[in-house]
């Protein structure tokens, strides 16, 4: 009887541990990004050397945060402060075009008056360009958010 009780306890504890760490689907990746939030939008800040799980998310990209209400409220209470969020994103979700020139600016080819010209800046947002992150956790980060 004691053996069955002990085994039941071990199985219950193991189940709780597995429930806390969400399994990453094959088409997704777990990322950790520093930046600033405003409402339900998170703007990625500059990459630092200590960010291991960043997955080359470019500075300045906007991510729509999906999170449980309590977590969203916690993040909202820290608007204007640099934070670091960890969550799941679909692989290849953002499609960068052009050449990065720094500060979140990319040079992309464009069509001008009858020829090819070069345009600078971020691609204009379109319906299909919204990037999502399912936020699992957040923590304060070093740095300041731009005003």
pLDDT, tens digit, for every residue of 91-142?
877 655 556 666 556 566 655 544 444 444 444 443 346 789 999 999 999 8
The string of pLDDT tens digits covering residues 9-62 is 445 554 444 445 678 889 899 999 999 999 999 999 987 776 666 667 888 889
- Per DSSP, which regions of the chain are E strands? 28-38, 41-44, 62-66, 81-90, 99-102, 105-111, 116-120, 131-144
pLDDT for the residue 73: 95
Q: Are 48 and 34 in contact (CB under 8 A)?
A: yes
Give the domains, in start order, of the chain with CATH numbers.
Answer: 25-144 (2.40.50)
**Maximum Cα–Cα distance for the chain, whole Å?**
84
**Which of 44, 50, 56 has the alpha carbon at shortest distance from 83?**
44
Enumerate the β-bridge partners of residue 42.
Answer: 37, 63
- Give the separation between CA 58 and CA 44, rounded to whole angstroms: 7
Q: Kindly tell me if the per-residue pLDDT of 5 is higher than 50.
A: yes
Averaged pLDDT score across all residues of the chain: 74
Enumerate the β-bridge partners of residue 45.
Answer: none
Q: Are 45 and 144 in contact (CB under 8 A)?
A: no
Q: Kindly tell me if the per-residue pLDDT of 144 is higher than 90.
A: no
pLDDT for the residue 127: 39
């Amino acid at each position: 009887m004691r053996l069955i009780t002990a085994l039941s306890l071990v199985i219950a504890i193991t189940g709780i541990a597995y429930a806390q760490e969400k399994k990453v689907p094959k088409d997704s990746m777990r990322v950790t990004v520093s930046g600033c939030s405003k409402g339900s939008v998170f703007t990625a800040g500059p990459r630092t050397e200590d960010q291991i799980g960043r997955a080359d998310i470019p500075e300045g990209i906007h991510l729509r945060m999906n999170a449980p209400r309590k977590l969203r409220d916690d993040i909202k209470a820290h608007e204007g402060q640099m934070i670091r969020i960890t969550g799941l994103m679909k692989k290849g979700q953002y499609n960068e075009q052009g050449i990065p020139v720094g500060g979140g600016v990319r040079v992309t080819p464009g069509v001008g008056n009858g020829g090819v010209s070069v345009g600078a800046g971020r691609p204009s947002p379109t319906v299909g360009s919204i990037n999502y992150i399912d936020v699992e956790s957040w923590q304060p980060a070093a740095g300041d958010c731009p005003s």
